[in-house]
Amino acid sequence: MKLTARQTSTKTLADLYRSIDRKHCVTITFVDEAGETTIRTIEPYDIRTTKSGSIRVHAMCRLRADARSFDVARIVSYTCHRIGFVLDRPEATTPAGRVIVVRSTGQLVARELGRDYLPTRRITRNQTSLAA
């Protein structure tokens, strides 16, 4: 078990990225918003930064069998396992709710570059306030 207070956040993120690359589970101890300590075994698939600057791990939670997000700053300790993933990750969808089908390398690269910039709602031509 690694205590996050005894190491840098870079080391914690490196371990989480390694578990994503190897598709290995991680057991985390974290403090939720209510202040309760919870232990979960997760299957991380993405790490992102929010608009407020906090870093969140997106993972499949084995307790809930559903996709969850965990704030890295709230993780108290973690253990990286050699156990492989067993839960199916939700399919990536467009804002309209359609499943994204990737048929070429170019489409995959475009999807990866654009995934953080998908609009959360449909934008029409007359919405000039949203123009960059």
> What average pLDDT values come out for the chain (132 residues) when binned by 10 residues?
83 92 94 92 90 90 90 94 84 58 71 64 63 52
For residue 131, tell me if it sits in a domain: no
Asked if residue 54 belongs to a domain, the reply is: yes
State the pLDDT at residue 57.
Answer: 93
pLDDT, position 27: 95
pLDDT at 91: 64
Full DSSP string of the chain: -EEGGGS-HHHHHHHHHHHHHHTEEEEEEEE-TTS-EEEEEEEEEEEEE-TTS-EEEEEEETTTTEEEEEEGGGEEEEEEEEEEP-SPPPPPB-TTSPBP---SHHHHHHHHHHGGG--SS---TT-GGG--
107 in the same domain as 53: no
Number of domains forming the structure of the chain = 2
Residue 57 lies in a domain: yes
24 within some domain: yes
- Is 100 a domain residue? yes
Residues 75 and 16 in one domain: yes
Do both 80 and 105 map to the same domain?
A: no
